[in-house]
Structures are given as structure tokens and as C-alpha cells.
Structure 1
Amino acid sequence: MYRVLHINDSWEGGGAEAVFRDTIKISQELGFENDVLIAEGKRNVFTYIYSCSEYKRVKERILFFKPDVIHIHNYYHYLSPSILMAIKRLRDSNLWLGRVIFTAHDYHLICPNSGLQFYENETPYNFLISKNNFSYLKKFDRRGYIYSTLKLLQHVLCYKIFKLNTVIDKIISPSHFLKEVFQNWGVTCPIDVIRNPIASRNFKLIERKVGTEGASPIKLVFMGRVTEEKGILNFINIIQKSKFDIDFHIFGEGDLLNNIKELTLRSGLTIICHGYVSRELLLKQINEYDIFVLPSIWYENAPLSILEAANFGLPVMVPNYGGLKEMASLTNSFFMFDYTSGNVDKYIHAAIHEVGKNYIKDPYEFTFDNYKAKILSIYTE
């Protein structure tokens, strides 16, 4: 029987972890024999750069299970790139000759900062997709040069010196944008664009609320991690200047929640922090809101929350770059703003007329059936 070893830093979580779990489920439905390996224990400075224990564990698992395919998702937080060294040495010794598939959920493979960002003081900036402004002398972590140096050491040691990325036979990219960036930054490994499946396995006609012109307050909604890179504070600064009455609903947890709750808000602007709500419950009530916003200040890759909101009729507002722009453009009612303009009122005004009218232009692209067919093709090619 065809065997697949699935590897990821962790089991619990959304985003990459959800795709990891979906991939295993699909692999089971395809009739493959599957094994799963996630990180054990906590990391420290040394195991973050290179974990000897995870190297040994992965090597032993491969020799025992003898997979035809190893499918890797995230590994640099806890497992460390040592798992790639284990694969490399087994191959060099002809002890394992299978294929390695890597699903890229961010930009870790090409940049010490997985968000493709650098910091000046504590302000983040995006590297250019052309790589023209990249330098190893940049600060890659907001917390300071110690953390930045750790990220740089991991990257240089594993990818520039040992070239562990060469063990990867094929990269799965959930967006054309990420594929373009990887190629611009010198990745030569074959890259296939395969969309991640969204939470709803089918795209039935959903009862959607249709907006009423002049309705007040306008209900904006965000769902995701409440962290710096998601741009929540930056977006709040913009809607502080808006002429509209706005209720901004934030679903999620993160280290910026207290900062948000302490903000002094203008008259007509209310922020409601709901904390963590399960995705299943949130999607049941998301059409109570008017406009979905994802104001990330990093490029993102392929944020599925945009498609999930569109599937329930919500127009989407995002910055005009990266995977945000690509995902939004796959829906019917999307509005892209520029942070440098400092104003989003014209987009809010236009979006409020589109409430209940949004949809995914090609829904099959994000179905489990499509994902299953693409995974089968890659595993068995």
C-alpha cells in the first residue's frame, strides 16, 4: 500500500494546521497508509536552530515506516530544519529514496523572517518581491537583534551552508503570488499552485443579508490572530478618521488585545473584541455583519478567511498587495485600499452597497474534491 508520512510543527491551530489536518483526512480518503509526526517537547535557543532529538526521531520514523512520500508543512518553529538533514542523509546513504513534498504556508524558505519583512526600530517593512532591497544586515525580528540573529543563523546554516532545501522535490503553493516571489528569489524547485480547501465542503446557496443604503452603524468584521502583522492597529487608526458610524467586531486572540481595549475612540466608532470563537460557530453568524476586513501589513499567502467571508455574501476589504490582493480578486465584491492614503471611506461607501452580493467566482477551485484530485496527482506522479 502507498505510504505517506505527514510532518508539521503542531496538530492544533488554524491556518497551516487546518490544512495539515485536511491533507491527512484526504490522504486517508484516498486509501493511502498514513503516519503523522509533530514536534515533541519545547524548544530552546539551540533546538530552534537545529534539533538533534528531532533529527533522530524523524530519521528513525522514516526507516520504520518507509514512506513513499513525505509531505512537510511547517517545521521551523519546533521541529527545526534538522528534519531535512535527516532526509538528506538517508538519501545520501540510499536508505530512503522516496519523494518530499513541501506545502509553503509562508516565506520561511527564502527569508529569515517568515513574513518576508524586516524592522527599523519596531516598524515592520515588506521586502520587495524583486528582492532588490534584501540584506542579511537587516533586523528580522521586532523583539531585537538577539532574536533576529537566531533567525538569521537558522536560515544561513540550514539553507546557505547545508542547502537542506534541496531535499524538496516539489513545492505546493496555495497562491500564484507566493510562487512568483519564490521564483524571483531564486527557488528552482518545481512549484504547483494548489488552492487550500475552505471550511465548507460544499458551496450551497446561502441565505445572505442584503445591505440597506444608509444603515448605521456599519458592521465591519475581522477574524484571525490579533497580532501586529495583521494590521489591526493600523486599520483602527484609519477608521478613527472615518465619517461613518462603525462597529468593528474582532474575533480572535493575540498580544494586541489589551492595546486595542485601551484605545480612546472617536464618537461613532465602537470596537467589540469577541475573543476566541470556534470557526464553525463564527461562520454560522458571519452574515450578521456587513463588510469583512483583513488589513494585514505583511503580504500574506492565501488567507482563506477572505473566501469564507465571500461565500457568505460579505464584500471584502484588503490592502492592495500580495496574497491579500490575489485572494480578494477571486471574489465578486472586493475593495482594495492603500495604507498611505490614510482614508478608506470611499471603499466603505462602495462596499456597503455590495452587502449580501459577494461570492467566489470559481468555487470548485477551493473544494475538497479539487484539493483531493490535486494531492492524488502529486503524490503518485
Structure 2
Amino acid sequence: MSEQKILIVSHGHPDHSKGGAEVAAYNLFKEYERQGLDTVFLARTDQPAHGGSAFSTINSDREILFHTNMSDFFLFQSGNKKHIWQDFRGLLEKYRPTVVHFHHYIHMGLEMIREVKNTLPDTRIVVTLHEYLAICANNGQMVKPGKQMKLCYKSSPTDCARCFPERSAADFFLREKYIKSIFDLVDKFVSPSHFLIDRYKQWGIPEEKLIMIENGQPEVEAPPPRPLADGEVRGRFAFFGQINPFKGVDVMLEAFNLLPDEVKEKVHLDIHGANLEVQTEEFQEKINRLLEELGDLVTLHGSYESHEIGRLMEQTDWVIIPSVWWENSPMVIQEAFNHGRPLISSDIGGMVEKIKDKINGFHFRSRSANSLSSSLNEASKGERTWHDLVESIEIPLSVSQCAGAHINIYK
């Protein structure tokens, strides 16, 4: 077999967008480069192009920004077809990759997958699934619209039309047929969790096309336990991620509010998260009210860079994932385990798969501030419990191991 040439396509560059999928894609790219493989990273951006060009470079000529957009979020169709059939096609013809690995199609358009098959029919196409976008039109969350945000267990055209009454069941039937017609062109789908694989199998993706590969982590030396002052407990909790309704930050803050006063005096919550300012006014008001009620018990730090995670974990005892949707495989789980920190998480989705209750962390009943408050109370009581959980943490898959697993499916 001739030497591989790998094109990784991401819906964002981590220099501009801090999501887990962007970081996972970029980590793979940098590892391929380190191994001497011929690889290019193509990342979509919403920044305006210089001189109207569809492409520009960032950091090196191997990292390309694709200045494009999507106009149809129902069918994931490009807002500028010329970017697909002229610019992207030109890049494919010039570079001629043997593998194109899509880490997303949102913001760029599903047509990119078909363009690869049309332009380079022998090129292998791999797609990493990060959530349920193809299955669910509600931001791929499988959560029903509305204030209750009821969890959804299975999609169907009729049920989806109930969630979006402005569209008919026929619209959703045709949407599914269109997306599956594109997905038929994909050689392999990668998922970082078995839970996500099960959802896509149920939806109709052939089992033999699906493979679980965990997101790899940089090899680091886990920091020692945070030194405790006399009388201090393991009560330093932290949240890492986006601040939006799906992440359950409001549930977490309500849980801290429910703690007995004597526990509140011993614990602290650090929130390392961004994007509160772009949420609805109602959600912002709720979060700000809870923050004001909790006062000095909580510190809102804002966004952070990937390279800062080690320093932030050093100052942390426990990491909380209070998500109210079916998280697939949040990057923060592997980051916490990589740094020897146990987690407290909702008991749904891929979180249950990764975090074992009372083995390497705690579960609490999803969406229940009372249940989370009980877990926080239990966590802050026992130094021995914390050490037992830490000793049971398994080192996550490294970026190098992750790259090796991907290279195997590229062949």
C-alpha cells in the first residue's frame, strides 16, 4: 500500500474554538505530525476571509482555515455551494489524500463527504461522531425542546414532528433518508463511547461500520494530592466546560445551595467555563441569581486554555459533570482521570460508561440538585474515600495509542 496522506476536517480550530471535538481532532493531527505522517488539518472558521479567499493558513501551511458556513441546519447543507464543488474539490485534487477523516460536518455541510467520494472515489472516508446531530434536530442533544428539557430515547419522524410542529413528519422522514444517503458513503464511523454507538446502531448505521476509540490524552505526570491545611477537607470542587442549559450548571449551583451551613464553610466550587453571556436572558438571570446567593462559596473563572488544565487540576479535589443530556464522552472525564482526580457525574449517557459509581467517582440522579448535594456532602467527608477512588482510576488512552488505533482503521 502506498504511503498514507491524511486530511483531518474539523468544524473549528482550537485556537478559535475550545470544544472537546476540536481539541480531539487537533491532538490527532499533531500526533500524526510527530510520527512523521503526511497530514493536513482543515478547520472551519466563521472569521471573514482575507480578499474573499475560501482558505487561509494558521500556525503553518499544514493548518488550513476554511472560511465557510452552513445555511441549512436542518439538512446540514452548505451556505456556499461553490466552496464545496470548487474550493474544497480543488484542495482534494491538489493534496490527494488517501484518507479524509471528518471530526464533524456541522457549520461546513454534509456535501463535503459526497464531494470526497465524487472527486477521489478510492479515498477512505472516516467520520467521528461526537453527538446525535444526525438523529436529533434539537442540536443533536436528544432532549425535547421546552423548559422541561425531557430526555428523548429514540427518534421517529412522527415524534420529531411533535417537537418541531412547524415541520411535518414527512420532512423528518426525508431528512433521515438524505443524511443516511450521505452516511452510506462513509467507510468507518468512530465513536468515543459505546453508548453513542448503540444509539446510532438503533438508528440504522450498520454495526460493522462502527468502532469505539476513546479520545486520547497527552501523557502527563498526575499531580500529587492537593496539600490540605490543618482541619481542611477534600472539598475543592471544579466544573470545566461550557455554561449552557444542557451542562447542568444551574443544577450544580442549586446543589451547593442545599448543603448544610457547616459543610458550606468547608467547601468551594471553581467554575472554569465560558459562553454564559451568549445564553438566553432567562438562563443568565437564573445563573447570576444562584451565584449571588452562594457568594464566596463559588468562583467564576471564565474560559481556560488546554495547556492550563494541569495547573487547574492541581488545585482541585473533585471534578463535577452535572450534564442534563446524554453526554457521549466529555473530554473533561479523560482530563480528570489523566490528572488523578475523581469525578461526580450525572447517571446517564456515556458518563455512566466512563465513571464507575463508588469506584473512580460518584453518580447522582440526573437533574436532581438534592441527589448531587448528597454526593457533595459524602465526597467532602472522607479523605480515605478520596484516596480509594483515586487508586482505582485507570490511566486513559494516550494520544499516541489513539492515533495508532485510527491508523489501523485508515488502512
TM-score normalized with structure 2 length: 0.78
Residue among 48, 62, 84 paired with 1:55: 84
Matched, 1:107 2:124: no
Could you say which residue in structure 2 is the equivalent of 1:8?
10
Could you say which residue in structure 1 is the equivalent of 2:58?
none
Cα distance in 2, alignment partners of residues 118 and 231 from structure 1: 13
Do the aligned partners of residues 61 and 179 (structure 1) sit closer, same or farther apart at CA in structure 2, a change above 3 Å counting?
same
Could you say which residue in structure 2 is the equivalent of 1:207?
224
Residue among 212, 225, 231 paired with 1:193: 212
Give matches, 1:308-323, under 5 Å: 308-323=335-350
Cα-to-partner distance string for 1:211-259 (whole Å, 9 max, x where unaligned): 6897469332101111111110122223322213042211111125943
Residue among 353, 363, 368 paired with 1:336: 363
Could you say which residue in structure 1 is the equivalent of 2:115?
86
Cα distance in 1, alignment partners of residues 224 and 299 from structure 2: 25
Cα distance in 1, alignment partners of residues 228 and 177 from structure 2: 51
Q: Is the 8 A contact 1:115 1:299 kept in 2?
A: no
Do the aligned partners of residues 313 and 29 (structure 1) sit closer, same or farther apart at CA in structure 2, a change above 3 Å counting?
closer
Q: Is the 8 A contact 1:300 1:324 kept in 2?
A: yes
Q: Is the 8 A contact 1:225 1:253 kept in 2?
A: yes
Give matches, 1:344-359, under 5 Å: 344-352=372-380, 353=382, 354-355=385-386, 358=390
Do the aligned partners of residues 46 and 310 (structure 1) sit closer, same or farther apart at CA in structure 2, a change above 3 Å counting?
closer
Deviation of 1:373 (Å):
1.8
Could you say which residue in structure 1 is the equivalent of 2:163?
139
Cα distance in 2, alignment partners of residues 253 and 268 from structure 1: 19
Matched, 1:17 2:47: no
> Which shifted more, 61-70 or 330-339?
330-339
Secondary structure of 1:249's counterpart equals strand
Which letter maps to 2:71?
V
Deviation of 1:2 (Å):
1.8
Which letter maps to 2:247?
K
Could you say which residue in structure 2 is the equivalent of 1:376?
407
Do the aligned partners of residues 327 and 269 (structure 1) sit closer, same or farther apart at CA in structure 2, a change above 3 Å counting?
farther
> Which shifted more, 34-43 or 178-187?
34-43
Deviation of 1:54 (Å):
3.1
Q: Is the 8 A contact 2:28 2:399 kept in 1?
A: no
Which letter maps to 1:123?
Q
Cα distance in 1, alignment partners of residues 146 and 316 from structure 2: 37
Cα distance in 2, alignment partners of residues 377 and 171 from structure 1: 13
Give matches, 1:208-247, under 5 Å: 208-209=225-226, 215=232, 218-243=235-260, 244-245=263-264, 246-247=267-268
Cα distance in 1, alignment partners of residues 343 and 228 from structure 2: 14
Secondary structure of 1:110's counterpart equals coil
Do the aligned partners of residues 232 and 176 (structure 1) sit closer, same or farther apart at CA in structure 2, a change above 3 Å counting?
same
Do the aligned partners of residues 29 and 310 (structure 1) sit closer, same or farther apart at CA in structure 2, a change above 3 Å counting?
closer
Structure 2 gaps of 5+ residues are: 45-65
Could you say which residue in structure 1 is the equivalent of 2:273?
252
Give matches, 1:115-134, under 5 Å: 115-128=140-153, 130-131=154-155
Which letter maps to 1:97?
D
Do the aligned partners of residues 338 and 226 (structure 1) sit closer, same or farther apart at CA in structure 2, a change above 3 Å counting?
same
Deviation of 1:319 (Å):
0.6
Do the aligned partners of residues 311 and 62 (structure 1) sit closer, same or farther apart at CA in structure 2, a change above 3 Å counting?
closer
> Which shifted more, 176-185 or 301-310?
301-310
Could you say which residue in structure 1 is the equivalent of 2:310?
283
Could you say which residue in structure 2 is the equivalent of 1:362?
394
Cα distance in 1, alignment partners of residues 271 and 351 from structure 2: 18
Could you say which residue in structure 2 is the equivalent of 1:69?
99
Deviation of 1:292 (Å):
1.1
Cα distance in 2, alignment partners of residues 50 and 310 from structure 1: 38
Cα-to-partner distance string for 1:135-189 (whole Å, 9 max, x where unaligned): 221436xxxx77xx6xx97994475377111111001111111111111222115
Q: Is the 8 A contact 1:221 1:289 kept in 2?
A: yes
Secondary structure of 1:329's counterpart equals coil
Q: Is the 8 A contact 2:337 2:394 kept in 1?
A: no
Structure 1 gaps of 5+ residues are: none
Matched, 1:301 2:323: no
Q: Percent identity?
A: 20
Do the aligned partners of residues 32 and 284 (structure 1) sit closer, same or farther apart at CA in structure 2, a change above 3 Å counting?
same
Cα distance in 1, alignment partners of residues 310 and 338 from structure 2: 10
Could you say which residue in structure 2 is the equivalent of 1:181?
199
Q: Is the 8 A contact 1:287 1:313 kept in 2?
A: no
Which letter maps to 2:78?
Y
Which letter maps to 1:136?
C
Q: Is the 8 A contact 1:127 1:134 kept in 2?
A: no
Q: Is the 8 A contact 2:127 2:190 kept in 1?
A: yes
Deviation of 1:45 (Å):
3.2
Could you say which residue in structure 2 is the equivalent of 1:167?
185
Matched, 1:41 2:67: yes
TM-score normalized with structure 1 length: 0.83
> Which shifted more, 117-126 or 204-213?
204-213
Deviation of 1:107 (Å):
1.4
Which letter maps to 1:127?
C
Deviation of 1:190 (Å):
1.3
Secondary structure of 1:97's counterpart equals coil
